[in-house]
Each structure stands twice: as C-alpha cells, then as structure tokens.
Structure 1
Amino acid sequence: MQLPFWPVLLVDLLGSALMIVFSILCVRLSFQLRSQDRENVVWTYLLMVSHALTAFAVSRGVGHIAKELLILGDRPDIWAALRPYSGSINTITFCVVGAVTLFFERIWRVYQQVLRDKEALQEAHEKLLFMNKHLEDLVLERTQELARSEGKYRRIFEVSRDMIAVVDAGGTLLDINPAGREMLGIPHHLTGRESALPDFGSFFARREDWDRLRERILRDCYVSDAEVDLVAADGREVNVLLSAASECEVSRKTEIFHFVVKDISQRKAMQQQLLQADKLASIGQLAAGIAHEINNPLGIILGYTQLLIREEPEGTERYEDLKTIERHSRTCKTIVEDLLSFSRRAHTKKETASLHETIEEVLSVVRHNLELDQIQVEKDFDPAVPLLVLDKDKMRQVFMNLIMNAKQAIGKDGWIRVETRFDPGRRQIRVAVRDNGCGIKPGDLPRIFDPFFTTKGTGEGTGLGLSVSYGIVKNHAGDILVESQVGEGSTFTVVLPVENEDEENAGT
C-alpha cells in the first residue's frame, strides 16, 4: 500500500519555512539582548550562533523548498546540479556553529577570568575607598591631637615662670618664652632671627661657661642642673640653674639646644641668710662663753684698780697710770656686755610700749647732732601700728645704732627717712631706716652682722653695733634685712612680730 506524497511534501515545505522564520526571530532576540548588555559575552556568543544557525536554516530550508519545487516541476536535473552546493553550504554553516562553540569555550574562560579580576578590582576598590575614608578620619584625628598637643605645650611654654629657650649650636636664640625675655631683659618686639639681638652666649657672666656648656651638650647631648651666672641686658646678675638637651635639625643641618633655666637668686640669698644665721648663732655661743670667762677677771682688775686709785693722790704719775687702766678696763667691760647682748644671754625686761614713742626718743637725742651736719630726718609712721611687748632700752639701742650708722654713711648734707608699716595679714611691723649715703659694697653685705667687722677707720667703731642690734632683734623673735646700692644709699628694715597686741591702741 502506497502512502500519499502530499503530507510529506507539506511538512517538508512548512518545516523549512518555519525553520527560516524561527532562526531569524532568534537572531532578532539575541541582537536585542546583546544591545542591552554589550559587555556580556554570552549574548555575543548567542548572536553569533544565531547568525550561523540562520545561515544554516536558510541554506537548508531554501534547498528543501527548491528540491520539492524542482521535483514537482519535473526538473530533477537542476536539483541534481544544485544539491552539492546546498550540501556544502549546510556543512560550512555547521562548521561555523562548531567553530563558534569551540571558540566561545576559550572566550568563556577568559570572560570568567575577567569577571574574577573585575570582582577583585571592585573589592580592592571598595577597600581603597574604605581605607581612604578611614585614612581621612585618621589624619583628621591625628591633626586634632597634634593641634591639642601643640596648644597644650604652647601654653606651658608661654605661662612657665622658668625660662624656656631654643638655641642653635652657634648660640642664636630661635625662640624664647616671656619668662625668659623678662629674665634676660629682652624686648618683646625682637625675635631670635634679628641681627640686633645678642646671641645666648653673650648673656653668660663668663664666656668660658657658655663654651664649656656648649661642648658638654654636643658631647653628651644633655646637661642637667648646671649652676651658672647670667647677666641681663640691663646689667642685672642672675644666678640660675640650667638644664639642656640637644637634637639634630635636618633642615638646618645643625644641632638645636633646648634650655630650661630657673632663677635661683632668691634661693641663694635665702641660703646665704641661713648660713649667716647659723654663723651668727655659733659666734654668739662662742662670744657668750668668752664674755663670761673674761667678765670675772676683768671685774677683779677693775675693782683692784679702783682700790689703788683711792689710796693714790691725784696728779701723780702713778695716779694717771691707774686711771688709764680703769678707763680701758671699763671699755673692755662695755665690749663684754655688748657680746653678752649679742649672744642673747643678757637679761631683758620686756613691757608693753609704743614703737613710735621709742623711735621718737631716739630721734630727739640725735636730732641736734644730725642738724649740725645738715642731715634732714623724715618720718612716715603708720597710725595702724599697735602697741608691742618689747625691751624699750634695747630697742632704743637698735634704732640708735641704725640711725648713727646712716649718719656716718652720709657724712654731711643728706637725708634719713624712718618709716613704719603694719601688715595685719602677716601680723608683722616693719621699721625701715633709709639713707642716701655711700652704700655698702656687695662683698661686705654678707659680713655686716659679724662681730668686730667694720668698714670704718681705726678707732671709729668696734664692729659690734650691728651684731648687738641683730641679737636684740632676734631676741624679740624678729629679723633685720638690708638692701644697699653703692653710691645710692642703704635701707635697714627691722621686722617685729605682733604678739598680744591691743590694736585699738595704735602707736603715734
């Protein structure tokens, strides 16, 4: 039984046409997909395969349609001639599809590597963004910390009461704080780089001290607690304790010295005062022992001398010799009494008295003597000064010594000023005796309270006046201070504590 031919023909023709249509639609769809994402290699591969399959579908579909039409048209000879070409085109298109597929496999591996590299780059980019943002925050944080640190240390630099100076190895002042400018007398409008400003070494009292100090810093990189003397721009001498460290500044190619300098002039003065007090205390104990040992035989000598004088008629040579012995014995006895007063072992009788009245009694005694030498006496008494418990006789001796010393320092034609001040906060009274005399040499100031030390000529003084005065004031729990400039005068200040005072009864 023979099947009808037309269904096969219909399927072949319709199938060929549909294959061509579907392949063209696939090309169109793959083209749209590739247009949406040109970087996606899958769509590129799909477009290439679609083109190859379309070529294959057209070649095969057209071949089948031509075959059926030529056979139906009774022209099989033409199909026999076209058949090899149709088969070749089909083969070529299949080879193209296979080649594209094989080529795509390598492209796909490269594409996958590119994707991995892209992901790695994206990750690295994100890390870089994160690090960059974090770095900006870190830099901002470090900048703020640096600003705070710089502000803190700048405040320390500015408000420090000790000198802080930055000096290069040649001695040029690069920077110095206000305390240092004040200590050295440097005007604030000058900077360390101005040629008019002396170098740091010029402020040393002895240039060799700076040279040795510089050598030590360069050798050891630091110096600790070196005691040196500086001379300020205005001529003031300042005793200082100095520490320094060095660092190398690459930009300047030189060593930079950082100095911290502390003014210890007041401390040295206090140490000198303590040494002076200890020395006077020791001398007082020694003087007391010597005075007591001398006082007894001296009294015996004076007593027997007076007995001999009574039995000797006046006018004889022996009488005059005995009087000479008596006179010098009394002088020695006065010196012994002064030594006892200096050592604080002499008897004192304290009572409530007016300090102003005590000073007035002394001035009334010496006023005539001062007026003969054209010396004016000025008074500035504080009415708030209360009554004090003191030994009037001994305090009169103190003020008498201070005023007579001022007179001798002036000579003729000058002035003496006596001032009193009451400090209720410290419970102290200060009595200052000022003069415009010759002053005291700096080398003599530490010794002026030493027994038997005097700057007067031979026979003009025993050197016990200030020593005795010092002992009397100390016995009143007070102190004597002195300030003096050669050629300008001196100021002796007696400091007395206020104890059991009646402040309503002020001195006049």
Structure 2
Amino acid sequence: MKFDNPPISPCPFSKHYRIPEHQAWQALTVYLLYRLTLGSVLVFLFFLGALPSSLGKHNPGLYAAVSSLYLSSIFLSAIPLLLRRPAFSLQAQLHVLTDIVTIPIVMYASGGAESGTGVLLALSVAAGGILTGGRCALLLAALASVAVLGEEIYADLFGAFEPAYTYAGMLGASFFGIAILALVLAGRAEQSEAIAAQRSADLANLRQLNEFIIHHLQSGILVIDEQQRIRMMNESAARLLGIPSTARSLETACPELAELFWAWLDDPSPATVNLGSRAGQPVQVRFTRLGRTHPPLYMGFLEDNALYNQRVQQSKLASLGRLTASIAHEIRNPLTAISHAAQLLAESSSLETQDRRLTQIILDHTARVNVIIENVLQISRRSQSKREVLSLAASVKKCLSDYRTAQAVHENAFQLDVRINHALVLVDPSHLKQILENLFSNALKYGQPQRGAIRVRVRRQRQEPCVEVIDHAAPIDSQTVQQMFEPFFTTSSSGTGLGLYIARELAELNQAKLEYEPVTGGGCFRLRLADAEKTTIEL
C-alpha cells in the first residue's frame, strides 16, 4: 500500500493500526472543530442565561469556571495542531484526555449522571477509538468509565446529591461498546483504503505498461479522430512516416496518409493500403475503428514493408537451409573419398610430374568444394540472434585486435577511427564479430592494402550508429554492386561467393543493414546497427 505521506500509528501500544498521515491530521482537525463548537455552546449559553435547567444547577460557579477553561484549552490546542508539533499521537491523546477530565466535572456541576451530560463523553470515546486505535481506544474507554463512576462516588461521599450508580455503570458499558465499534469501523476503513490504494497503484502500473509497450512497438500505432487530429502516436509511427512525434494534425503532418484515411472512411473494404513514406521505405497501412468510443476514434497500424519481406525471406531461407544441409551432407561423403584417393595417389613414387600436378589440382578443388559445403552448413545451422546491448566502439576495437592477432596482420594494415565513443547498439556479439571479420578479410584480399591502411570508422550516419570499412579497391560497376550480396556470386577464381551473403543475412537477423557505397579512392562497406537507446519491441 502506498500513501502520499508515510502512515503513522497514533497509539504507542498499537503495532497494526496505521493510517495515512494526512488523513490522521484531517480527522484530528474535525475533532477539534467539534470540541470548539461544544465548548462555545456550553460557555455562551451559560452567560446568556439560555442553558437548560439541568446544566450547572448544582454548582453554577464551578460550571462557569470549568467550561471557560475548557474553551480556552481548545483555542490553545489549535496552535500545535496547525504547526503539527508535537507528534500526532500525543496531540490526539491530550485532546481526548482533556474531555475525559473536563466533562465529568461539568457533569458534577450539573447534578451528576442524571443530568445527561455524561453522554458527551461517548463522542470523545468514539473519537479516541478512531484517532488512537488499538489498545489505546480501550484504555480511554476505561478512563472515561472510571471518571464517571468516580464523579458519582465523590458526590455520594460528600452528600452533594443522590448518586446514580446504575446510570453511571450503563454509561461505562456503553463507552466500551462504542470504543470497540469505533475500533472495528476504523480497521475496516483502513482495509478499504488499502484495497483502493492497491487497485489504484495496479491501474497506474498497468497504464504505464501499456504506454511503454505501445511506444516501443516495432509496428507504428496511430490514433486519430474524424477531424484528423492525432490523439496518440508512438515512436515507430513517427519514424515510418518521417514526421515529428509532436505532430497533432494528420492533414498537416502527412497529407498522403490523410487522403488514404478519407478514402478508407468512404470505402473501408480494402484491408491494407500502401504508402510511400518520407523516410524512403514503403509502408503498409491498415485502419480500424477503435471500439465504441464517442466521438469515434480510429487506429492506424503501420508496418514497414522491408520488415515484412524480411520475415518472408527468413522463412524461405530456413526451408532452403534444411534442403541444402541435406544435399551438402550427401556431397561431403564422396568428396572425402575423392580427396583421400588423390592424397594416396600423390604419395606414389612412380607418379610422373605431370600426373602429380593433376592430383594437386584435384586436392585444391576438393578443398575449395569443402569450404563451400562448410559455408552452406553454416547457413543451415544459423541460429536466431541473441542480441545484447554493447558499446559499439569497444566491440569494434576488440574485434579488430582479435583479428590482427589471429591472422597475424601487421598493426599498420588497419587504421581505427572512432568518432562516437558512447554509442550503444543492440546486436549479437558473435554475429557482429563474424560480419566484421568477413569485411576485414575482403578488404585485405580485394582492397589493395598496399596503397594505404584500411580505414575502420565508427560514427553516426542518418542518426544511426554504424561501422564503415573503407579500402582502396578500384571502383565497382553498378551491376556488380547489385549482385555482390547474392549467394555464390564472386569475381575471384578462388572465392566461394558466400562471405558477403552470410554477412548480410547475419546483419538482417540483428535488424542491421549491410550496404556498399563507392567513395573517393576506394569503396566503403557500411554496417548500420540498431540503436539500443531507441529499441523497439518485436512482435
């Protein structure tokens, strides 16, 4: 249970009765106002001569003095109540104890229990049960009963008037009943307050959870009314539409989508429509009525076509991977036999030089086919990415250092240029390492490193963290650029044509993008990664 102010236990003997602090002070203020009203009535009616005949009849002087002191004490007790000093428990107990001491004296001055003034103690005992609670409530009821009974005994001993012990006993019993009832009601009120506060906290948490999920969805969510006012828009919708997240008018922010919305209102039969967004990628849009709200609200679902095609492509690749894995296993068995036979033939002492060269050709090409089979099996065994939040600069630095050590590459062969030191990305560490090692190997093999160091640059491009590997290779024609990421495409007689294809597939698994761009004096392979600070929830 949560409160705006910490809960307090008014009674020092009670460990379980706890109420919110602001509510406790409010209750004490109400009790003070009641006491102020009671004291004012007792004093002013006496001096105006308008009191009932029973009040103050036995000893008017004592009645006037005690009632005046009672009213004065009430005014004085308002000061610490406003200051909230001393503690609440002490002030509440002093208020009730003042009534327990004063009212029996007023009752004595009015002629004892038969005057009816003892009933005023019932309200004080009830207030004590609410304000103090626990065993303190029963203690106050006992003190009130003793005070009433003591007043009657005093009158009997000194012959002031005829005592009414029966009436005093009934008052004492009623005080205990009232205290217990007030205690039970206060406990139930506390439980109700706890349940209400817990439900309120649960609703607030659920609302925050819903808002978090909506704003971090990979799909765009847009809520609009009939006047095309944007009621809600998550980050993905703003990104897909290329509009600011603070936009409030759909017609002003994205006229193309506004036209599609009007067309859908006239004819809601099309399930989805396509929209060319300002961000450059095609977007699928689907509208629907949002419940039975009044005025009516409409929700638009925006989906990036590239992500949809990616899921379809991954499904196809999974099926193709299982097929190629079976074929690769079947090819590997005879290939191993051919390679073993060629090795045995090469070891023959009677083999001529020309024939020995032919056996070496067999061994070289069986090794090359084996590499292709290994790459195909690697594709088929590829697991889903286990993305983690990584520091991009630190990860690239470590990958480059490990690659230099493993491949015995000279330190000057690569030049690391870090322009963003604190960028965080969401990527599978093993996939990132495999992609970068492939780019490093291609740069050393095809990038003419003898013309200068290969630059590895870490920076932001289009507000996205990226890694660029820039070499000094000759410009690549546009047709080759379109085919370079396709499987088994290579311009080298010794290449398999699977390296860049695997690298791009691994990048797509991590919602990253691998692309090539010609630059002055060479080429640039750029890996754009998902920013961990702008993560979306994938569905």
Q: TM-score, normalising length from structure 2?
A: 0.37
TM-score (norm 1): 0.39
Structure index of larger Rg: 1
